[in-house]
Amino acid sequence: MVSKKNIAAVLAVSVAQVLPASLWASSEGSVRVEHLGTNNTLVRVVGEGDMLLFPVQESIDDARVNVLVDGKLDRTLNVRLAKSKVDYSVPFDLTPYKGKDVVLNIVTSQGRANVREAKEDACWSNIVVTDTFPVENREKYRPAFHHTPLYGWMNDPNGMFYKDGVWHLYYQWNPYGSKWQNLAWGHSTSPDLVNWTHHKAAIEPDGLGMIFSGSSALDPGNTAGFGEDAVVALYTSADVSQMQSLAWSKDNGATFTKFPGNPVITLESEARDPNMFWNKETGKWNLLLAHALEHEMLVFSSPDLKTWTLESAFGKGLGAQDGVWECPDLFKLPVDGTGEEKWVLLCNLNPGGPFGGSATQYFIGDFDGKTFTADTLADGTVPTKWLDHGKDHYATVSWSDAPDSRRTVIGWMSNWQYAAEVPTMQFRSANTLPREIGLYRAADGQVYASSTPSPELEAMRGTVVASAKSFKATSKPRVFRLPQANDGICEILLDIDSDKASDVELLLANDAGDKVAMTYSPASGTISMDRRESGIVDFSQDFPAVTSAPVHDSGTLSLRIFVDRSSIELFENRGRVAMTNLVFPTKPYTTLSIRTADKQARITNLKIYSLNPSASL
Ligand code: FRU
């Protein structure tokens, strides 16, 4: 349990930190509950404390909680207040209201026969004012080295920027439950992209609506007039309609002030996720906006972030079109080994991904500050390209102002098909490992994006728990043990010599019968991951799946695989394959078995590292 002055302090606890067991205060005396009818209850805060804990039951519909401060409506939250049992509690920060009168006017949506029935709801005896909230939550499936929110729901990473040695990560956050609702920008920071410190929400809902995804950047030229040291942010205000709003921060992204002239962009149709950057070539800001239902990205320009000119639209009829287009990003990179530079347009779409549900496609092309023109195949068509060939890689966007010209990205490690059903409770969803995007020209003449784990991740490596310089893989499995510490979290490296043209299977397994097969098939030029028997898979019919990626090059295939409690990320060493899949093994996987389908294959440089996330600090 953490005792604290305010909720910001309690959130400033590294996820790696383990805290002692919690003590809970009693609801008696800290709140006064008055029932007004079958669906309306007043809760008065009468006790002293920094926060109020809402008891949540996931399967219940949202109650509308109107927070009245000295009689005025301060905010409205939607909370699944517990009816028959408490799944977990979530804190509501009372510190801004010290010395003021706080009353919650709560409208529930459950059907009840009479007030007596309403009074029996589990929430009323468990709602409590306290100074403490347990953050030691270590659910079985909480990753050890991936970013997760301390509690509550998370979807898209967004608004990321780098400044003064600190990686700032914002994310779509519901602090009041582990399902999508009440979206604010959650905020975490890291010196190394592995160890994250959690902060108070940076941008919270207001009269224009919830705070949907967007972007941030530094504005050293003070083009917006908020100061040379300001961090500027654009996000979607989402209520009945979606519009784009501007905010700035003078304290390195901890708190933001909303621009009084918001919204700065309005349209007559659904558009969201503004992604802006300073275009050095034109001396103006550019902004991409997802014209979601039109399956296109709108391109804007601006001298000052406040007045925007619509320049063009890209994408109608191009690439994957089977879902809404969301979360764009646009940046320029050198093409490896050539003098060439190309623009990359990230376009997340949902559904319509290669294995169902959400996924990240991208286009390679040119951009002149007004129009993006995609590269085509010889026949003039624009090819569809995927940044990751797993099921759990979405809403991928990059950090602004990253050092050393790096283009570092992170994605949401889930899929809209089942994100709200995955078997976690107090928190829901993690982000992928951070990755570096590069460009290369493949044998087919096309430019592709590579995606390699960020170099910071190597510092996590602990001991080599298994290794083999070189051996012949045959149809008889060769078995290696995964580390025992930390539920077997590990990094696996190996090279597969494919000359013998036989399928090679890498099998992660435990003695409960859970298994994940990764199969390299030189004949078909693919690598696949089969999670159909990976553990708990029955929470959604869309979860059991085999995902597969093309392997463009023949010869030796070098693989790098990260296993972290509830995820597997497989990379070709140069990032030419990336595949991210969630798994929920009933027990941690304990072995890696390698075998071929029939002929032999040579495996070299096999190493299995234990991982120690805090070692990278
Ligand atoms: C993508 C998305 C965005 C939107 C956000 C809302 O996952 O739908 O388009 O801004 O989530 O949470």
**Per-chain mean pLDDT for the chain:** 93
Summarised one tens digit per residue, pLDDT across range 385-416 is: 999 999 999 999 999 999 999 999 999 999 99
State which of 213, 234, 236, 288 you would mutate to test the pocket of ligand 1, scoring each by most atoms of that ligand within 8 A of its C-beta: 213
Instruction: Tell me if 423 sits within 8 A of 536, measured CB to CB.
Output: yes
355 C-alpha vs ligand 1 centroid, how far in Å? 20
Q: What is the pTM (predicted TM-score) of this model?
A: 0.94
Q: Which residue has the tokens 């939607």?
A: 78
User: Does ligand 1 come within 6 angstroms of the Cβ of 273?
Assistant: yes
Please check the confidence at residue 23 and state whether its pLDDT lies above 60.
no
- For 465, phi then psi, to 5°, come to -90, -20
What are the strands, taking DSSP E only, across 178-323? 184-190, 197-203, 210-218, 231-238, 242-249, 257-258, 272-279, 284-291, 296-302, 309-314
Counting from 1 in the atom list of ligand 1, the atom nearest the Cα of 290 is 9
* Closest atom of ligand 1 to CA, residue 327: 9
User: CB–CB of 65/16 below 8 Å?
Assistant: no
Query: 581: CA distance to ligand 1 center in Å?
Result: 20
Predicted pLDDT of residue 14: 32
Give the number of the atom of ligand 1 that is nearest the alpha carbon of residue 394: 7
Confidence of residue 599 (pLDDT cuts 50, 70, 90): confident
Q: Is the pLDDT of residue 501 over 80?
A: no
Q: How confident is the model at residue 136 (pLDDT cuts 50, 70, 90)?
A: confident
Task: Assess whether pLDDT exceeds 80 at residue 42.
Answer: yes
Q: Strands 427-428 and 152-163, how do they pair?
A: parallel
Q: Is the CB of 172 under 6 A from ligand 1?
A: yes
- Residue 30 is given by DSSP the state T
Atom of ligand 1 nearest to the CA of 214: 10
Alpha carbons 15 and 123: distance in angstroms, whole number: 28
From the CB of 213, is ligand 1 less than 6 Å away?
yes
427: Cβ below 6 Å to ligand 1? no
Distance 166 CA to ligand 1 centre (A): 25
Residue 280 has pLDDT above 60, yes or no: yes
Catalytic residues: 156
**Does the pLDDT value for residue 486 go beyond 60?**
yes
Q: What is the pLDDT of residue 6?
A: 35
Quick one: pLDDT band at residue 15, thresholds 50, 70, 90?
very low
Evaluate: CB of 234 within 6 angstroms of ligand 1.
Answer: no
Return the pLDDT at 500.
Answer: 61
Q: How far is the CA of 181 from the centre of ligand 1 (A)?
A: 11
Q: Is the pLDDT of residue 562 over 80?
A: yes
Atom of ligand 1 nearest to the CA of 326: 9
pLDDT of residue 27: 57
Is any atom of ligand 1 closer than 6 Å to the C-beta of 530? no
pLDDT digits (tens, 9 = 90+) for 429-444: 999 999 999 999 998 9
Residue 134 pLDDT: 82
> Which residue lies with its CA nearest to atom 9 of ligand 1?
326
**Distance between Cα 270 and ligand 1 center (Å):** 12
In angstroms, what is the span from residue 245 Cα to ligand 1's centroid? 15
How far is 292 from 286, CA to CA, in rounded Å? 18
Residue nearest to ligand 1 atom 8, measured at CA = 326
For residue 244 and ligand 1, the question of a CB distance below 6 A is answered with no
